[in-house]
Amino acid sequence: MAAITAARRGARTLVVEKDEKVGGVTALSGGQLWVGANHLETALGIDDSVSETEDYLLFVSAGYAERSLREGFARRAPEAVRFLVDTLGVELAVITGNPDYYYPVAPGSKAAGRVLEVDPFPAQRLGDWAERTVISPYGNSYATYREMLGGSGGPKTLMGEGGSNEHAERDERCAGAGLAAALVEAALRHGVEIRPGTAAIRLCHGASGVTGVIVWDGRQETAVRAPGVVLATGGYDHNVEFMRSYEDVTEYGSMVPPTVRGDHLVMGAEVGAMISGARPPYSNPIPIGFRIPGQSVNGRPMDRSYQPGRPHAIIVNREGRRFADDSFYPDVLAALHDARSGTTGLTNWPAWLIFDQTYRDRYPFATLSPSDPLPDGFVVTASTVRQLAVEVGIDEAGLEATVERFNSFCADGVDAEFARGSRPWARLMTGDGDLPNPNLGPIERAPFHALRLQRVGNGVPSVGLKTDADARVLDVRGHVIPGLFAAGNASAQLDIGAYYNSGMSNTRGILYGHRAGLALNAHA
């Protein structure tokens, strides 16, 4: 986005991409943008305002954001989206009916309007770059949320008479792959030079600030001189030391490419940049997920994140107890960091997904449909809940009591312990809309199954380079480092703070890329 913005104003711009294909973590994501008071919701007659957006961000930040950055996000994100749509011609639409995570309890929250997605993007517009732009291996590149949620007649509208996905047949990319493709096309159209397979390894830095970057193309190092450098390298999932130090995890998987190693932190630190965190331990962003035996990507086992919330399943700790609203993943992640005085380890980790045969018969696990056999070693199965606990190593009495209690909640239609099924977002996004309470269903039909969960990174980090509202990187004394900018997950989340809402990471890439592009022109 920075390169496009600067190029449109006459600058000569270069994007170096460490991977062999372009698109990065954006292409692997759901592709959502979260933008309050955007012009697309206004056109639909949805009432929203910058002040309400600020109120919601204040709630989400939980005291861990800086006011100037938080308010800047609320005011300027709509401007960046309007530039994306009106100036660059990227076709975005509101995901109708998609509420904010914390609606209606959070001040300023909205029932719909703030979450956007790209329209299906014809890859033929990329020409030869279609093959060099990332398509997600996780299967979410050929369906819009509006279609999946029924806004266009339901999921069946994706399928032609022959049972094939019409978007896939026409190579119309959706979600993150569609957003990435649209940005690549806009960059090419505006004369941006893109070099895949080229890594930025070191900044050129002197008395006047950053004056360029050293890149490596697999054969030689080259110095690229420029009046400004924007670091948009994502997080640091594949840097074990950074994950241990900044996320407090040592055993985990990741869905992002192995090129995501925190290069921005290394290069930034070498020129005095401040590395800053904006999340307390209880809001650690590393999701839960699983690994299906035999599946791989990039030559590595394939890790997948998992959003809990479907009926007939619960998440429990080693005591066999539920510990959160297990239809709302932020609640689960927060509880994973509970620790009990006088004990070692975490109270709620490891954790297991416990489900019955009704769940198995109705819902898939990623590419495993209900009719597919589960691979050996994926789950533990037993004829009774007690026997399942014995096989897994969970407290038997605790699990039996938890399942009995949960089943009573399902009979009543109300989770009296954690209010599961009371959040509009969870009811829509993780539940089963065919049931009275989309998130509640008893665990009562044998056999019973247990899946040990793992932590699975998705590129969203707890720390990044500290920047101002124009994406300019600050040094450890709080001064701007001339010529150095950071956008997206490379910049510290001091604008949104402790918590999150789906779409904010992509918005931060668009917003701060746009701000950096504007500042680059002023700086040149």
Q: How does pLDDT run along the chain (524 residues), one tens digit per residue?
A: 999 999 999 999 999 999 999 999 999 999 999 999 999 999 999 999 999 999 999 999 999 999 999 999 999 999 999 999 999 999 999 999 999 999 999 999 999 999 999 999 999 999 999 999 999 999 889 999 999 987 433 333 444 444 458 999 999 999 999 999 999 999 999 999 999 999 999 999 999 999 999 999 999 999 999 999 999 999 999 999 999 999 999 999 999 999 999 999 999 999 999 999 988 877 888 999 999 999 999 889 999 999 999 999 999 999 999 999 999 999 999 999 888 756 668 999 999 999 999 999 999 999 899 999 999 999 999 999 999 999 999 999 999 999 999 999 999 999 999 999 999 999 999 999 999 999 999 999 999 999 999 999 999 999 999 999 999 999 999 999 999 999 999 999 999 999 999 999 999 999 999 999 999 877 55
Pairing state between β 14-17 and 193-196: parallel
Of 435, 457, 479, the domain-final residue? 457
CATH of the domain at 192: 3.50.50.60
Residue 228 forms part of a structural domain:
no
Residue 209, token pair as written in the block: 């600030």
Identity of the residue numbered 399: L
Q: Select from 409, 426, 457 the last residue of a domain.
A: 457
**Do 418 and 308 share a domain, yes or no?**
yes
- In the prediction, which pLDDT does 152 show? 36
For the CA atoms of 432, 435, 406, 357, the dihedral, rounded to the nearest 10 degrees, stands at -70
Q: Are residues 170 and 73 in the same domain?
A: yes
Q: Does residue 512 share a domain with residue 421?
A: no
CA–CA separation, 174 vs 166, rounded Å? 12
Return the DSSP state at 283: G
**Token duo for residue 199:** 């890594």
CB atoms within 10 A of CB 266: 16
Based on the domain organization, do 195 and 151 belong to the same domain?
yes
**CA–CA gap between residue 437 and residue 311 (Å, rounded):** 9
**429 is a domain residue:** yes
Structural domains of the chain, count: 2
SS3 assignment for 330-362 = HHHHHHCCCCCCCCCCCCCCCCEEEEEHHHHHH
Structure-token pair, residue 311:
């009926």
Q: Are residues 409 and 482 in the same domain?
A: no
Any domain includes 445:
yes
| Same-domain status, 10 and 135 | yes
Residue 500 located in a structural domain: yes
Establish how many alpha carbons lie within 13 A of residue 424's alpha carbon, considering only the half-sphere containing its beta carbon: 14
Alpha helices for 190-256 (secondary structure H): 240-242
Do the domain assignments include residue 351?
A: yes
Q: What is the DSSP string of 110-154?
A: -SSSSEEEEPPEEGGGGGGGGGGB---TTS-SS--HHHHTTTTS-
Tokens of 307: 């959003």
Q: Are residues 377 and 471 in the same domain?
A: no
User: Phi, psi at residue 332, to the nearest 5°?
Assistant: -65, -45
CATH for 399? 3.90.700.10
Query: Rounded to an integer, what distance in angstroms lies between the CA atom of residue 362 and that of residue 359?
Result: 5
Residue at a domain's end among 434, 457, 480: 457
Quote the Cα angle for 139-143-147, to 5°: 140
Residues 410 and 516 placed together within one structural domain of the fold: no
The Cα–Cα gap between 433 and 418 comes to: 20
Give domain status of residue 283, yes or no: no
Asked whether residue 258 is domain-assigned, the answer is no
CB within 8 Å of 212: residues ≥ 6 apart? 203, 204, 223, 224, 225, 226, 229
Of residues 344, 321, 303, 293, the one with CA closest to residue 458: 303
Same domain membership, residue 123 and residue 26: yes
Sheet holding 352-356, edge to edge: 313-316, 352-356, 448-452, 380-382
The domain of 470 spans 2-199+458-523
Mention every residue, 6+ apart, whose C-beta is less than 8 A from residue 431.
Answer: 309, 310, 311, 327, 421, 437, 438, 439
- 480 and 452, same structural domain? no
Domain membership flag for residue 207: no
Does one domain contain both 476 and 391?
no
Interatomic CA distance for residues 372 and 351, integer angstroms: 25
Task: Please check whether residues 444 and 512 belong to one and the same domain.
Answer: no
CA-to-CA separations, 104 to 59, 84, 107, 109, 273, in angstroms, rounded? 12, 29, 8, 6, 39
- 22 Cβ contact list (under 8 Å, min separation 6): 15, 129, 132, 133, 134, 180, 184, 194, 196
